A and B are shown apart, each in its own frame.
Chain A
Amino acid sequence: MNSSDRHLRFGWWSLFAFLTLGVVLEALHGFKLGWYLDVDVEMRRLMFTLAHAHGTLFALVNIAAGVTLRTVKGFELTRPASLALLWGSVLLPLGFLFGGLVIHDGDPGLGVILVPFGALLVLYGVGSAARTLDKIK
């Protein structure tokens, strides 16, 4: 599978997964579940919302990467950059999700540790793409 196909497939499946998470969050609102809505679980709500938002966003970033690879002549992502973008797009939103499953008052759960790792990978991937595009005349 080439890089473009990889990012497109990942992007659309990831979009599906995190949009589904969004539907789940709306259902938690709809059914007024205290586990999600009580005042003392504000951190959980924040974490889950961030997971949904970032997961959806990075899915679109991957779709954009796939389309860019197919349509912009001369644009290529190195394998490390491609893998960094994919892995970062998994780790960062999952970090938020895990950080919301178990919370400690105003602190997220330890799973949130995935977020900075994911963030660094995404930054590397997107930064690489920006540099590559810059070199194309």
Chain B
Amino acid sequence: MWVKLFGYLALAWGVTLTATSLLTGSWQSTPPKNRPIKQLTQEYTSSDSCQSCHPGNYASWHASFHRTMTQVASIENVATNMDGLNLSFNGTDYRVERKGPAYFVRSKPAEAPEGAFGPRVQIVLLTGSHNLQIFWTETGEGRTLGQLPFAYVVAEKKWAPMEHTFLVPPGPGQVYQNGDWNVACYNCHVTQGRQRFVSKDKYDSQVSDFGISCEACHSGGREHIEKNRNPLRRFALHWSDGEDKTIANPGRMAGPASSLVCGQCHSIWAFKSPAVEIPWSRGGAQYRPGDKELDSRWVVQPTTTDHPEERAALLKSDPHFMNERFWGDGMVRVTGRELNGVLASPCYQGKKFSCLSCHEMHPAKTDAASLHDWAHSQQMKPEVTTNQSCLQCHPGLKTPTALTAHTHHPAESAGSTCYNCHMPHTTYGLLRAIRSHQISNPSVRESTELGRPNACNLCHLDQPLAWTADRLSAWYGQKSPPLSADDHALSAGVQWLLKGDAEQRLLVAWSMGWAPAQKAAGHDWLYPFLAFELNDPYAAVRFASWKSLQSLPGFSGYDFDYTVADGKQKEAVALTYRKWWFEQRNPNGGYRPETLLEADGSFRQDLLDRMLQERNHRKVYLAE
């Protein structure tokens, strides 16, 4: 009897609890107030709703760095354990502590005692996970974000001040102010972000998804989901292999529209006018994948004449806009803006070429190892990591004979890899040189007139420009521009490293660690120059020099803190130079004079001094 009673009571209790939960919505958690939140819209349903029908595509997206572009901060997705972390920058000490599943940071003036640490501020959002991770904090002003002024350099397992992760002039400064995420970063680092300006420096920002998720490229999924609840519709599509018009598919679009799907973020763009920013702020972008234009925005190409009024207004408001983003001939010089390069490429003109000619977002193999390799190889199609990406449209160069005749390099060498000549590393980003996405032909003229290191000399670092000019003239009929005496006698790479501006110095310092360049130019002579650049005024150049030094024999794993003050760096330079001189330098000499070294490997001091006096000290600020 009592068992029956107990059973009925338990059942009644369970039903009551369940019904109460359903009716009151108590199963729904309250959204946090101190950071941007995920809020679905009429159109956007978030990637959560894609997984059940598209598990393979969801898995590849989940393995990608698009997903982790922005994440809600938790102990699971922070790149390193931050509990007990102490950092100092620009006269302020920071201490990070873990409380439960979250991290909090406190700060005080550097000279103040321990007890002066201020209140805890929660770290609420993260940007990045692969190269760098950046940390955003609550500010107490609604969903406005502040920033911990440090980035975690993932590969090095090191912390660096934010300003040391950009190619910007040296000097203390906060790279990001309160609200900058809500004004700038959210534009491209989330899916369908809505800034939702409230009042000065206060925002109520929302997103459809953190990170770049399914709907960023496929458009809002609500109609697609509603229509495809019907199994008859779904199976009709399965069997016909027809296009489902309720969802955008960049893989089925013509080249320009497909490229613009990536280019909505991966381009240099500007708002068409201040007026369009208001609806943008409230409702997010009106551009939808498949559209021919960006709607409220336009892609800024220096070499075209479209959008004349917007162009004039832009240059009036920011005269340095082009310079900070493009080389003098309009080639883009910062990373993450690949569409600008693609638009200017001859390959694009046929309307078939697009980002998906070489990259894929959803590889066929979805096992963990394959997805890991894919994510870490810039999401390249496996069949196009070789010349195949170009040979698919240029089959005439397929045979080794034809290839060698074209490149004048052995078929299996780096000089016969299409990318190395036509997509050299002349773009800067993420503390390194990155391939330009404007398919171009190398020339000496681009170096003499624009200062852009050309593909030939980025590999043949030891050769003068005149050497390159002779070959380009003999092989391709290129007319040699006027060249100085130095350009005839001295290595172009060394000249750029010593005389060049910060970007030139970085591109060359990075190239000195690039295996094909070390093979073509030799590596024995690189050490003293990389040691010298460990004390470059620009932190990013110091970083690139250090990493390149690590690639050389005898310096693997060489420790160097590229963020410390000038005095300590000078000490590091001296130690590094000594290490090279006594451990790696060839005691039999043989160093070549065009590399600014005496036969025994010491600097040709008079030339070195002159080069440094002629160094271009213009302030370089690359808006990465």
Contacts and interface: CB of A to CB of B under 8 A. Distances in A.
A34 B367 contact: yes
A81 B321 CA distance: 81
Contacts of B400: none
B52 A104 contact: no
B55 A107 contact: no
Contacts of A40: 55-57, 59, 366
A41 B367 CA distance: 11
22 contacts: A34-B365, A34-B367, A37-B367, A38-B367, A39-B56, A39-B366, A40-B56, A40-B57, A40-B366, A41-B56, A43-B55, A104-B234, A104-B235, A104-B238, A105-B53, A105-B57, A106-B52, A106-B53, A107-B231, A107-B234, A107-B238, A110-B235
Interface string A114-125: 000000000000
Interface in B26-81: 52-57, 59
Interface in A34-84: 34, 37-43
Contacts of B56: 38-41, 105
Contacts of B59: 39-40
Nearest to B237: A104
Interface string A74-106: 000000000000000000000000000000111
Given A38-B366, A39-B366, A40-B59, A105 B54 contact: yes
Nearest to B59: A39
A53 to B, nearest CB: 20
Nearest to A43: B55
Contact of B55 (A34, A37, A106): A106
A84 B365 CA distance: 43
A71 B479 CA distance: 103
Contacts of B57: 40, 105
A104 B241 CA distance: 11
A107 B235 contact: yes
B67 to A, nearest CB: 15
B279 to A, nearest CB: 35
Contacts of B238: 104, 107
Contacts of B235: 104, 107, 110
Interface of A: 34, 37-43, 104-107, 110
Interface string B512-553: 000000000000000000000000000000000000000000
Given A41-B56, A106-B52, A107-B238, 7 more contacts: A34-B367, A39-B59, A40-B57, A40-B366, A104-B238, A106-B55, A107-B53
A106 B366 contact: no
Interface string B359-385: 000000111000000000000000000
A106 B367 contact: no
Contacts of A104: 234-235, 238
A104 B56 CA distance: 11
Interface string B131-168: 00000000000000000000000000000000000000
Nearest to A110: B235
A91 to B, nearest CB: 18
A108 to B, nearest CB: 10
Contacts of A110: 235
A115 to B, nearest CB: 12
Nearest to B55: A42
A105 B238 CA distance: 9
Contacts of A43: 55
A39 B234 CA distance: 21
A39 B62 CA distance: 11
A135 to B, nearest CB: 25
Nearest to A103: B238
Interface string B81-121: 00000000000000000000000000000000000000000
Nearest to B368: A39
| 5 closest cross-chain pairs (CB), A and B | A40-B56, A106-B53, A39-B59, A104-B238, A39-B366
A72 to B, nearest CB: 25
Contacts of A105: 53-57
A43 B235 CA distance: 15
A106 B234 CA distance: 10
B39 to A, nearest CB: 25
Contacts of B53: 105-107
A136 B365 CA distance: 59
A56 B233 CA distance: 33
A38 B366 CA distance: 6
A33 B78 CA distance: 34
Contacts of A107: 53, 231, 234-235, 238
Interface string B467-511: 000000000000000000000000000000000000000000000
A116 B238 CA distance: 21
A37 B366 CA distance: 10
Contacts of B55: 39-40, 42-43, 105-106
Interface in B201-240: 231, 234-235, 238
Nearest to B238: A104
A110 to B, nearest CB: 7
B236 to A, nearest CB: 11
Contacts of B366: 38-40
Given A104-B234, A104-B235, A39 B367 contact: yes
Most chain B Cβ neighbours within 10 Å, of A37, A38, A41, A110: A38
A34 B56 CA distance: 12
A38 B364 CA distance: 10
Most chain B Cβ neighbours within 10 Å, of A40, A42, A105: A40
